[in-house]
Structure 1
Amino acid sequence: MKTDRTNRTDIKATKLIEGTRAVAPWELKAKSITLYKVTEFYREQITNSGHYDQLKYIVEPSFEEFESPGDLDTSGEHDNTIVPGFQHKYAATGLVLVTDRCASYCRYCFRKRIVGKDSEEVATDFAQISQYIGSHPEITNVLLSGGDPFVLSTSKLDQILDYLLPIPHLDTIRIGTKMVAYEPKRFEDPTLASLFQRIHEAGKAAVIVTHFDHIGEISVDAERNIRSLRAHGVQFLNQSVLLAKVNDDPDILAETFSKCHQMGVRPYYLFQGRPVKGGSHFQVPLRRGVEIVHGISQRLSGIHKTFKYIMSHYTGKIEILDLGADGRVYMRYHQNKCSQEIGKVFSRPYLEGACWLDDLPEG
């Protein structure tokens, strides 16, 4: 017998941070609530880190997700998709979604529309993608993303590279991952060295973009494996997301960025949290975000100040510069689909509590 949304047999007791709640499957779907999934390694890491009360929000579901409004495509990914799984928003960069799987599920994920969903947005025709990149010489780097590319086998990643490495105008292969935090032993795979060697022999740079949001995520295993891969010529960048209750503290982020530099991982972006459905409660007001960034800068030496405070907006990557004495938020386009807009400084009046460009009035 087919059940409808009122059938009580579908309702299950679901454990959330604040307690247990009776939840029906249709409610999870309607609210875009991601299932709970976390690696044993990460669970033990955050439990023993001394920062569990903050880090639990990254992977454990909460009541707030059910009342958290927003969109499932906050940056216009659908509008910039050329063929399934391939996006071309900024002239020099091609973005390939190689999987819809992750080792653990971040509660604030901005791609929750595809993660764990057997999504049709994942790339399948790499020949077609290669042909497009080959006919667009302005594309100098490719970012492999998802999901997390390192949930794929090394042989699968090698097969993807078969289509990318022969393209002469590509100079960089980037791979975005949080697996270094979630399951660092993945990077002990001895065949990874030859994969990165292939990239080097093709005359291209191999870059891993890690995702450490908090010093408590950086394990001994993660540091060891990063140092090992650096010895094979892999470059490392890190991106973090500014998250309410998790890392909205200049001391924590300064310590995180300092540790990254110590390991040879250059802090790259500190992202303003996105207004994603089921995850917008992680957003920090822009006033507080600016205060935190100023606080981070006051705690770091000059060589450590390599990050930019970025809002990855539909119109482009916007660097948030300051909240002026005139009550205006000053910003600059770090990237934009229209190259003439890149570097443009602009401002908008600040409204208390605003977390996103769309929250600020024009004028």
Structure 2
Amino acid sequence: MNFIEGARIVTEDELQANDITHYHVTRFYREQISASGYYDQLKHIVEPSLAEFDSRGRLDTSGEHDNTVVPGLQHKYPQTGLLLVTDRCASYCRYCFRKRIVGKDSDEIAPDLARVAQYIGAHPEMTNVLLSGGDPFVLSTSKLDKIVDHLLPIPHLTSIRFGTKTVAFAPRRFEDPALTALFQRIQDAGKTAVIVAHFDHIGEISVDAERNIRSLRALGVQFLNQSVLLSRVNDDPDVLAATFAKCHEMGVRPYYLFQGRPVKGASHFQVSLRRGIEIARGINQRLSGIQKTFKYIMSHYTGKIEILDLGADGRVYMRYHQNKTPAKIGKIFSRPHVGGACWLDDLPEA
């Protein structure tokens, strides 16, 4: 197998024991990052590294298994359902937090959409569903239509989201004319179609991606962007500020900047909380008021935690952006900072 550090012979057993994802990248993305001027940074997103063998962590860092209510459907926060519709992606990110699923034949993918719809229908507090996986846009449009068939009749669903990096990996997928009809169906049912794109770096934003995003926006599809803060890739306020400014220019609202998770085989991508706070501050200093719409977020087992600041008192200040317990949402809390800490669990409860 070819690693960034050089070729190495590995057995299938070694790969599985260390949860090393197989290498797969689209030709389009390979050509895009090669021509971007940022190849030395962007190669780390898709090219395997020997660091993955020594990258410790867990496979489920945010309690997805514990919040699965029917096979394939997670209900961690009252208003949102997370529906896993595939275990495949157009290309495989080396920092993926769902290594336990992606690129494998997973039993966590929803096998019975009627049962999923029955659960959602019985929970009127759920106002939106996020289709994820894997990447829903590796599925055919006809398959997506069949999934949406089960969701559109549910009256209390007001939006259907699609989480995707295919807009970076294979943006021509969005030129499929059948997608126009799919998004129109969603709107005709009185619901909002939202694509949550995943640009981690301005070098990923291709001419094709921008053209297709603008076309879909003209049809009424809303776009958000989420990025992951990644060591050696985008841990630079100039790069991320440029990425978010470009997203804003295209009509894609910067949504989340995620702290890298302590995932087995991927924790070497983590940036320290101290550095992450410095970067988030630097991004905000470089953007206009209407461009800085992102939140610096840690998707922890206990909830989505917004990372606010490192105080002069040596404490990291945070607040719950989302939590299973509504009373905790918005509550600011702090923990003593520890040098090199990258995750909430690295900070002492004192």
Residue 22 of structure 2 aligns to a residue whose secondary structure is: coil
Aligned equivalents of 1:313 and 1:271: distance in 2?
A: 11
Match of 1:113 in 2: 100
Pairing of 1:292-307 with structure 2 (within 5 A): 292-307=279-294
The count of corresponding residues between Structure 1 and Structure 2 is: 350
Aligned equivalents of 1:224 and 1:247: distance in 2?
A: 24
Deviation at 1:24, TM superposition (A): 1.9
Aligned equivalents of 1:294 and 1:320: distance in 2?
A: 11
Residue 265 of structure 2 aligns to a residue whose secondary structure is: coil
1:61 paired to 2:48: yes
Deviation at 1:19, TM superposition (A): 1.0
TM-score of the pair, normalised by structure 1 = 0.96
2:191 is aligned, of 192, 195, 204, to: 204
1:146 is aligned, of 133, 150, 155, to: 133
Q: Which moved more, 1:16-25 or 1:167-176?
A: 16-25
Pairing of 1:28-39 with structure 2 (within 5 A): 28-39=15-26
1:323 paired to 2:310: yes
Aligned equivalents of 2:54 and 2:167: distance in 1?
A: 31
Deviation at 1:334, TM superposition (A): 0.1
Aligned equivalents of 2:14 and 2:336: distance in 1?
A: 37
1:185 paired to 2:172: yes
Give the number of the structure whose alpha-carbon radius of gyration is greater: 1
Letter in 1 for 2:72: G
Letter in 2 for 1:117: K
Match of 1:241 in 2: 228
Aligned equivalents of 1:130 and 1:149: distance in 2?
A: 17
Match of 2:162 in 1: 175
Deviation string 1:90-112 (CA, Å, 9 cap, x unpaired) is 00000100000101000000001
Aligned equivalents of 1:114 and 1:215: distance in 2?
A: 28
Deviation at 1:124, TM superposition (A): 1.4
Residue 147 of structure 2 aligns to a residue whose secondary structure is: helix
1:214 paired to 2:201: yes
Deviation at 1:22, TM superposition (A): 2.4
1:132 is aligned, of 95, 115, 119, to: 119
Letter in 2 for 1:126: L
Residue 89 of structure 1 aligns to a residue whose secondary structure is: strand
Deviation string 1:276-313 (CA, Å, 9 cap, x unpaired) is 00000000000000000000000000000100000000
Deviation at 1:59, TM superposition (A): 0.1
Match of 2:245 in 1: 258
Aligned equivalents of 2:138 and 2:204: distance in 1?
A: 18
1:291 paired to 2:278: yes
Aligned equivalents of 2:15 and 2:333: distance in 1?
A: 39
Aligned equivalents of 1:350 and 1:17: distance in 2?
A: 33
Aligned equivalents of 1:290 and 1:164: distance in 2?
A: 39
2:11 is aligned, of 24, 30, 40, to: 24
Deviation at 1:26, TM superposition (A): 1.2
Residue 191 of structure 1 aligns to a residue whose secondary structure is: helix
Deviation string 1:21-73 (CA, Å, 9 cap, x unpaired) is 22222111111100000000000000000000000000000111010000000
Letter in 2 for 1:331: M
Structure 1 unpaired stretches of 5+: 1-13
Match of 1:96 in 2: 83
Aligned equivalents of 2:139 and 2:312: distance in 1?
A: 49
Aligned equivalents of 1:80 and 1:40: distance in 2?
A: 36
Residue 238 of structure 2 aligns to a residue whose secondary structure is: helix
Aligned equivalents of 2:184 and 2:30: distance in 1?
A: 33
Letter in 2 for 1:166: P
Aligned equivalents of 1:79 and 1:344: distance in 2?
A: 24
Letter in 1 for 2:300: H
Aligned equivalents of 1:43 and 1:114: distance in 2?
A: 23
Letter in 1 for 2:320: Y
- Give the percent of matched residue pairs that are identical in Structure 1 and Structure 2: 78
Aligned equivalents of 1:361 and 1:22: distance in 2?
A: 41
Deviation at 1:314, TM superposition (A): 0.2
Structure 2 unpaired stretches of 5+: none
Letter in 2 for 1:37: H
Residue 77 of structure 2 aligns to a residue whose secondary structure is: coil
Aligned equivalents of 1:124 and 1:171: distance in 2?
A: 24
Letter in 2 for 1:54: Q
Match of 1:226 in 2: 213
Deviation string 1:156-187 (CA, Å, 9 cap, x unpaired) is 10111111000000001000000000000000
Residue 161 of structure 2 aligns to a residue whose secondary structure is: strand
Letter in 2 for 1:218: I
Letter in 2 for 1:125: D
Runs of 4+ in 1 over 2 A off after TM superposition: none
Letter in 1 for 2:85: V
1:347 paired to 2:334: yes
